[in-house]
Amino acid sequence: MQKIIVGLLAAGILFANATTASAAPGAPHHRHAQVKHLPVGAVDVVLAGVKYWLADGVYYRKADNRYVVVKSPVGAKVKYLPNGTVVVKRGGKQYFHHAGIYYRWLPKVRQYEVVKLEKVPVAKVYRLGSVLETLPNGANATLVNGVQYFTLNKQYFMRSERSGKTVYVVVNIDAG
């Protein structure tokens, strides 16, 4: 019985250390969360002389002997985007969106830059079946049952093609 208790106690200590000492997948990613070790594959990003680390789309700063999750630094440049990034068009421009962070492609330096997009005023309501030449400002990409749609204000837009041009059709889907 004593061996079982000692074994369970040791397993509990190992589990507790593993979950609090590293930022493995599933680690807290909300701002100001702290981890003792950066996730595997974290890359350093320097902006205006300040060093950040980026892993899985989450930015960190060193604080004493820990790393703290921080807001994405506007102007930071990265070579690669995190998995799950989607393309978003705003004001006729293409951006890349992941976990609340927007990036734009800088072809001259072949990197992506963190940008701050202004909040978009509430858009009008579009009739079902309406065909739009561009997405409304603020529409974000989303997957529903494996199909990519764009959504804004609980309305869904589906990419389509008419006369060789990309258009967006207002559709009604069951997202539940």
Q: What is the pLDDT of residues 69-82, one digit of tens each?
A: 999 999 999 999 98
- The per-residue pLDDT of the chain, averaged, comes to 80
- Report which of residues 14 and 85 the model is more confident about: 85
Q: What is the pLDDT of residues 112-153, one digit of tens each?
A: 999 998 765 555 788 899 999 988 888 888 888 888 999 988
pLDDT band for position 176 (50/70/90)? low
pLDDT band for position 32 (50/70/90)? low
Nearest to 141 by CA among 133, 150, 132: 150
Q: What is the pLDDT averaged over residues 162-175?
A: 88
The DSSP 8-state label assigned to residue 71 in this structure reads: -
A 10 A CB-CB count for 70 gives: 16
For position 120, what pLDDT does the model report?
58
The DSSP 8-state label assigned to residue 160 in this structure reads: E
Q: How far apart are CA 48 and CA 33, in angstroms?
A: 23
Phi, psi of 44 (to 5 degrees): -85, 145
Nearest to 36 by CA among 26, 27, 46, 49: 27
Q: Which residues contact 150 (CB under 8 A, 6 or more apart)?
A: 88, 135, 139, 140, 141, 142, 156, 157, 158, 159, 168
pLDDT band for position 13 (50/70/90)? very low
Phi, psi of 77 (to 5 degrees): -120, 135
In this structure, what is the dihedral angle of CA atoms 37, 40, 41, 45, given to the nearest 10 degrees? -10
Q: What is the DSSP string of 102-147?
A: EEEEETTTTEEEEE-PPPPPPPPPPPTT-EESSPPTT-EEEEETTE
How large is the C-alpha radius of gyration of the chain? 22
For position 167, what pLDDT does the model report?
93
**What region does 51 belong to: left with phi over 0, alpha with psi -120 to 50, or beta?**
beta
- Report which of residues 42 and 89 the model is more confident about: 42
